[in-house]
């Protein structure tokens, strides 16, 4: 070999062995990457040198780890101050990179919460989801919208807190319907002083923080005092509020008596799949449960799965003081220490052996077992359906990702396109996308033009990412709602973008839009139909109907926004404060439109020039 010839790059165990020589004997996080920068694995270690050197020895417990090492083409390292810091960084990186060989928490949607907004003199009670950008006190998580709505309903009955927006609050001149049905104390119209309203807010906060018994006892004392003073109406109102709080215990199936705040995790694994059932208990109440199906390997131990799941689950969620588990997670003390560091207080992770806590864990485990059984049955049926789709359309293999497109509009207005995604795990709703039709050149109602725009935007992005060396997710099958014309438009766009190697099928509704009489259009084939009772036909109908539902829902939402839009929003110089002042002065946008320029100028913040502009705006036609 010539002296100047470049040595072949190191890969696999040889690469790892070379990296070990430069690693410190210190805690940190290591990342393994494959071809094209694909993240393979993220791990943490008390000693990077000792931990990574184990991969270089070539002796592995499982074929999975051996394959991971063989695929490794590069590594990155980050040293940390302590092993706890390394664990927290590992959790964060797994969330970001989603490595192929890590246990991964999938379908991790944010949970709804309740927030008491404190920046307004009359605090507002509302449902919230997402980052804590609003100043106030947050309570949660609730497992579902149903659970949070039920609790909000109870709080309105018991504490009479307002739920209206600030703009509605500022413009009220008389109590709304919620006050009439005893769901709000009406601070907007002064029927309760702000000091007394603040006491109601404090009671609601105490209830949500778990001091429900103390709150109910105080209400009972007040009710008795009102009755003794012959204030029977006030006593009746307090009685109704106590009943509202008491109803929480009756509406919920599982309410612990000895636990104020805890999350319960139960893991059941079978056949290379796993389910983790999570129950939330706050303020001594069951705030709902949710089943998760993390990506695992058959060789993963239950303790490893539980440890990985807990770390990823609490990466962006509040951590309770007590976490009950059916399986003790690997490195349990280290995880508890990391959670305590993150929460700023002690966090206990326990596997109960007896008593009420054990009953809660057993109940969650039974739910996990049942949920996994249902999931496996659905997966088996889904696999058979996808195999049928493969055979029907002559695909190379069962599709892993099916994208279905549909448009929705009324006479060309508020036109939107919708894309839904389905695969072996059913509908992947976090992958759904909506497309607001932007082109000004389209003739209103041009369905072909709308489909071209939607597909061009979707697949131009895919082509751009592939050209940049990225690995975007490609569909195996594209279904278009329409016949030969829509199919031709779709194929034209995809050919222009150089992504004409994806199977495209048009699904046309039957005569009179009858289900069961659909015709399928494919390039180079005559239109065909499926047997009316074919399971594959039913499956394709479900896909088409879901795309139709999503597109129509998106269209209606956009149309509702347009209908709610206030004409004042279109006037230059009228911001939120002036808009509020105008609506407060004249009652509505219609009232503003009828006002004279002189009356408009009398409103605080409205100059004579702006008054003339507003006056002219409503008379420009």
Which phi and psi angles does 458 have, rounded to 5°?
-65, -50
d(CA 305, CA 255): 28
Residue 396 lies in a domain: no
Residue 306 lies in a domain: yes
Residue 210 lies in a domain: yes
Q: Are residues 441 and 549 in the same domain?
A: yes
Residue 7 lies in a domain: no
Domain end (from 562, 585, 608): 562
pLDDT at residue number 305? 92
Please state whether beta strands 426-427 and 28-33 pair in parallel, antiparallel, or not at all (unpaired): unpaired
Q: Are residues 415 and 554 in the same domain?
A: yes
CATH of the domain at 498: 3.30.420.340
Q: Are residues 181 and 127 in the same domain?
A: yes
What's the helix, strand, coil split of the chain in %, to 5? 45, 20, 35
Strand partners, 44: 29
- Contact of 447 with 486, CB cutoff 8 Å: yes
pTM of whole model > 0.85?
Answer: no
Q: Are residues 221 and 356 in the same domain?
A: no
Residue 541 lies in a domain: yes
Domain that holds residue 611: 567-617
Domain end (from 228, 251, 274): 251
Q: Are residues 556 and 585 in the same domain?
A: no
Strand partners, 280: 263
- pLDDT tens digits, one per residue of 201-224: 888 888 777 665 666 677 777 788
Give the 3-state secondary structure of residue 172.
coil
Highest-pLDDT range among 9-13, 32-36, 110-114, 206-210:
32-36
pLDDT at residue number 476? 92
Domain end (from 220, 251, 282): 251
Phi/psi-derived region of residue 271, left when phi > 0, alpha when psi is between -120 and 50, beta in every other case: left
Q: Are residues 299 and 236 in the same domain?
A: no
Q: Are residues 211 and 270 in the same domain?
A: no
- pLDDT tens digits, one per residue of 266-316: 999 887 889 999 998 887 777 788 888 888 888 888 999 999 999 989 887
Tell whether the model's pLDDT for residue 497 goes beyond 90.
no
The pLDDT > 90 percentage for the chain reads 21
Residue 391 lies in a domain: no
Residue 395 lies in a domain: no
Residue 102 lies in a domain: no
Please state whether beta strands 519-521 and 348-350 pair in parallel, antiparallel, or not at all (unpaired): unpaired
d(CA 77, CA 79): 7
- How many CB atoms sit inside 10 A of residue 598's CB? 10
Q: Are residues 426 and 503 in the same domain?
A: yes
Q: Are residues 118 and 171 in the same domain?
A: yes
Mean pLDDT value of segment 143-169: 80
Which phi and psi angles does 250 have, rounded to 5°?
-80, -30
CATH of the domain at 571: 1.10.150.20
CATH of the domain at 85: 3.40.1440.10
Q: What is the mean pLDDT of the chain?
A: 83
Q: Are residues 597 and 488 in the same domain?
A: no
Mean pLDDT value of segment 582-608: 84
Lowest mean pLDDT among 126-130, 247-251, 446-450, 509-513: 247-251
Residue 485, CA distances (Å) to 443, 446, 477, 511, 523 in order:
16, 12, 18, 17, 11
d(CA 300, CA 266): 16
Q: Are residues 441 and 422 in the same domain?
A: yes
How many domains, the chain? 5
Q: Residue 268 has which token pair?
A: 């059941």
Q: Are residues 119 and 230 in the same domain?
A: yes
d(CA 260, CA 214): 13
CB under 8 Å, gap of 24 or more: what pairs does 191-198 form? 192/160, 194/121, 194/122, 197/122, 197/123, 198/123
Tell whether the model's pLDDT for residue 252 goes beyond 50.
no
């Amino acid at each position: 070999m010539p002296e100047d010839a470049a040595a072949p790059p190191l890969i696999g165990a040889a690469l790892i062995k070379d990296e070990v020589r430069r690693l410190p004997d210190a805690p940190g996080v290591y990342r393994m990457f494959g071809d094209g920068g694909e993240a393979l694995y993220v791990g943490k270690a008390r000693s990077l040198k000792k931990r990574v050197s184990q991969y270089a020895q070539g002796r592995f417990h499982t074929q999975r780890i051996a394959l991971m090492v063989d695929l490794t083409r590069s590594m990155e390292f980050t040293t940390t101050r302590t092993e706890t810091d390394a664990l927290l960084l590992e959790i964060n990186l797994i969330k970001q990179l989603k490595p192929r060989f890590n246990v991964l928490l999938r379908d991790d949607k944010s949970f709804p919460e309740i927030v008491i907004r404190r920046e307004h003199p009359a605090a507002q009670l509302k449902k919230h989801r997402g980052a804590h950008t609003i100043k106030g006190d947050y309570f949660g998580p609730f497992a579902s919208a149903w659970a949070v709505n039920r609790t909000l309903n109870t709080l309105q009955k018991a504490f009479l807190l307002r739920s209206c927006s600030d703009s509605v609050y500022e413009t009220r001149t008389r109590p709304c319907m919620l006050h009439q049905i005893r769901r709000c104390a009406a601070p907007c119209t002064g029927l309760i002083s702000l000091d007394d309203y603040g006491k109601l807010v404090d009671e609601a906060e105490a209830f949500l923080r778990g001091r429900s018994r103390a709150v109910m006892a105080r209400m009972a004392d007040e009710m008795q005092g009102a009755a003794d003073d012959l204030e029977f109406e006030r006593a009746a109102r307090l009685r109704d509020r106590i009943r509202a709080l008491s109803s929480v215990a009756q509406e919920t199936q599982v309410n612990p008596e000895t636990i104020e705040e805890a999350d319960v995790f139960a893991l059941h694994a079978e056949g290379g799949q796993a389910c983790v059932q999570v129950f939330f208990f706050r303020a001594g109440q069951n705030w709902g449960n949710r089943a998760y199906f993390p990506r695992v390997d058959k060789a993963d131990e239950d303790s490893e799965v539980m440890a990985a799941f807990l770390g990823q689950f609490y990466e962006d969620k509040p951590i309770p003081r007590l976490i009950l588990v059916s399986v003790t997670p690997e490195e349990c003390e280290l995880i508890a220490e990391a959670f305590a560091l993150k929460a700023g207080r002690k966090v206990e992770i326990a596997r109960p052996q007896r008593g009420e806590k054990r009953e809660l864990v057993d109940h969650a485990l039974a739910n996990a077992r049942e949920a996994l059984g249902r999931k496996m049955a659905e997966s088996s049926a889904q696999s058979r359906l996808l195999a049928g789709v493969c055979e029907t359309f002559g695909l190379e293999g069962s599709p892993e990702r099916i994208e279905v497109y549909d448009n929705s509009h009324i006479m060309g207005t508020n036109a939107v396109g919708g894309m839904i995604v389905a695969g072996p795990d059913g509908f992947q709703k976090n992958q759904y996308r909506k497309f607001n039709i932007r082109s000004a050149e389209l003739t209103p109602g041009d369905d072909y033009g709308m489909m071209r725009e939607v597909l061009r935007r979707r697949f131009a992005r895919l082509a751009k990412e592939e050209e940049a060396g990225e690995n975007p997710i490609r569909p195996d099958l594209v279904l278009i709602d329409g016949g030969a014309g829509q199919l031709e438009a779709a194929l034209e766009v995809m050919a222009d973008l150089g992504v004409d190697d994806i199977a495209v099928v048009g699904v046309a509704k039957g005569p009179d839009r009858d289900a069961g009489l659909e015709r399928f259009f494919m390039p180079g084939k005559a239109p065909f139909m499926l047997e009316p009772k074919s399971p594959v036909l039913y499956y394709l109908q479900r896909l088409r109907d879901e795309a139709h539902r999503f597109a129509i829902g998106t269209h209606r939402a956009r149309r509702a926004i347009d209908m709610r839009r206030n004409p004042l929003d279109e006037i230059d110089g009228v911001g939120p404060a002036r808009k509020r002042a105008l609506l407060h002065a004249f009652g509505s946008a219609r009232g503003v439109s009828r006002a004279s320029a002189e009356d408009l100028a009398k409103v605080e913040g409205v100059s004579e020039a702006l008054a003339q502009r507003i006056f002219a705006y409503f008379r420009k036609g």
